[in-house]
Every structure is written in C-alpha cells, then in structure tokens.
Copies of this chain bind each other. A is one copy, B any other.
Amino acid sequence: MAEKVTIATVARHARVSRQTVSNVLNAPHIVREETRLRVEDAISALGYRANQAARQMRTGRSRLIAARIDPTRDGINGSVLDRFLHGLTETADAAGYRVLLYTATDDEREIATYGDLLGTYELDAFVLVGTKHGDPRTAWLADRDVPFVTFGRPWDALDAHPWVDVDGAAGTAQATRHLLAAGHRRIAFIGWPAGSGVGDDRRAGWRDALHEAGVDPTGLHRETEDGIAQGERLMRDLLVAVAPTAVVCASDSLALGALQAIRGTDPPVSVIGFDDTPVAAAIGLASVSQPLGDAAARCVDLLTGVLDGNHETPTHVLLQPSLALRHTA
C-alpha cells in the first residue's frame, strides 16, 4: 500500500531538500515563488501532513489546548459549558490548535493534572472556566509561566492574567431597564450571597438600573444558594413582603423557582433569568443570554496572541450579553 508520506517524500517528489519543504511550511517568505509552488503541488499531490509528534519533539510545542469538562453540576447551567466548549473547539481548530479535555474533582487534583498534561503532552495552554478568589490553579500556572486564559474575571486583581468575561452587570441592568420601560417599578432581584464576584456583579447591574430610574431598591432583593427550590421560596417571601410586579434573577434555576411561586398571580409577575439555558428557551422564560461562542473565540485569540508571540493583543475582554425576550417578560 501507500507508504507513509514524510517531508523527505515530498522533497524527493518536488526535487528539493527536506529543509526547503520545511521552509515552505514554516517560513514561506524565504522560498522562491516557483520553488514554493512546486513544493505545494507535491504536498497536495501526495497528501502530505506534517507529523505533529516529530514537530513537537523539535519545537517543544504541541498545538494542544486543554479545557476542563465539568460533571454537569445542577444540569441546568451545565449546558453553558457545553456551548462554550463547542465554540472553543471550532475557533481553536481554525487557529490550528486542538482542544484536549480533562476532568478533576478538586483543585489539588486539577493541579496534579496540569503537571501531567504539561509533562506528558507538553500542552501549549489552558483555558479555565470560572475562577474563585485566590484561586490556587491560576497561581500555579502563573508561577510556571504556563500560558492560560480564564473565562471569568479574577475579581481580586483584574490585571493578574488574561481573561475573557461577559458583563453580567450590563445584562441585569438591561433586563431591569426593559422591565422599567414596560412600566414596572417594584422590580425585585433574587441572587446569590454577597462575596462571589459574579453574583455581586449581577446584583449591581439591577441596583444601578433602578437608581438610574430613581427607584429605591431597598428591601427588594433576596439572597440564597442557587437552585429551583431556593428561588421558589424567596419569591414567595418577596410576594408577601413587597409584592413586586417583576423580578430579575441571577440564574435560570432561581428564575424557574420564581416562576413556580408566581403561578396564578394576576396580572402575572414578570420574570427574567440569566444564562439563557435550554430550559429557559423551552418553557419561554426570558433570560440574559451570554455570547458563549464569541467568548470562546476571544479566549482562543488571547491564547494565540501569547503563543504566537504577538504581544499587542489586549489581555482582557469584556463582552456584552443580550436579552432573550420571551413571554415571561
């Protein structure tokens, strides 16, 4: 059968040396036009593909990016990761990189996995989704000069490393303004306990939008862990306490709970969730939608910027979410 096509086969076929073929691939500008075309013809005629392992051995670069796949926590917000990963794979592919998956049950193991992936596969970079205050993972990577990007801001030090994020405050503000425009005044907010960057950010957007409209947000918000049952409980509480006519939630899970609590109210209380998950789309819940494909693409941009030596690219990207209006708003 057809024997393996290496750079030497191509060289023979195009009557040039191996190095010239290599140059055509890696530094086309130093090869004479005529020679280049002859080599390119040979490459496509023979169906040559550069062997990544051999290349990697010499250059030390694998053109592989690692991303973590989580065990689908509550299932509702899980699909956010799914969509992000798909975008990542697509964009990375276009940039000549491939995405390798890994899992880990805790930070310590995750860091052990970093060592393994770097040592064994010589990964070029990592994409981390979601980081916490004082995250040991980013510290470990930064210490070793391993390129990485996070999807999610490092809330304590915005310049610590490259990141891409979606402006959650802008999202909840937009949702709130939409409700204000529809005539609502008592617009409540159900969010997460203070202290998480993401949660505080989303609440701030709602609060600022109300202030902007001259509405006092006092007493109109509640905090809880994420979950449908939690959302339902707090919404009942709000209905009794302040009788809001609309509510903005920090997640679709909370919004889903809120929807159950308001069933039968007349006129119906408006509800807007966050993340535009499949559940929201399925049941007609209005929700703030994150541009996950864009976010993934920008992550790849930042990484290739670092990896391919182009240091002029910005290192922080903040994307604007949009509002997916459905019949609950």
Contacts and interface: CB of A to CB of B under 8 A. Distances in A.
Best-surrounded residue of A70, A71, A101, A122 (most CB of chain B within 10 A): A101
B75 A120 contact: no
B102 A93 contact: yes
Best-surrounded residue of A81, A93, A102, A282 (most CB of chain B within 10 A): A282
B100 A85 contact: no
Contacts of A54: 53, 57
Contact of A62 (B53, B72, B116, B281): B53
A18 B144 CA distance: 28
A50 to B, nearest CB: 7
List the number of copies, as a whole number.
2
Nearest to A281: B75
A78 interface: yes
A79 interface: yes
Interface of A: 47, 49-54, 56-57, 62, 64, 69-72, 74-76, 78-79, 81-83, 85-86, 89-90, 93, 98-103, 115-116, 119-122, 228, 253, 256, 277-279, 281-283
A50 B118 CA distance: 11
Nearest to A293: B71
State the main secondary structure of chain A at its contact with B: helix
Contact of A49 (B47, B53, B116, B283): B116
A70 B57 contact: no
Contact of A278 (B76, B93, B119): B76
Contacts of A51: 57, 119-120, 122
A213 to B, nearest CB: 32
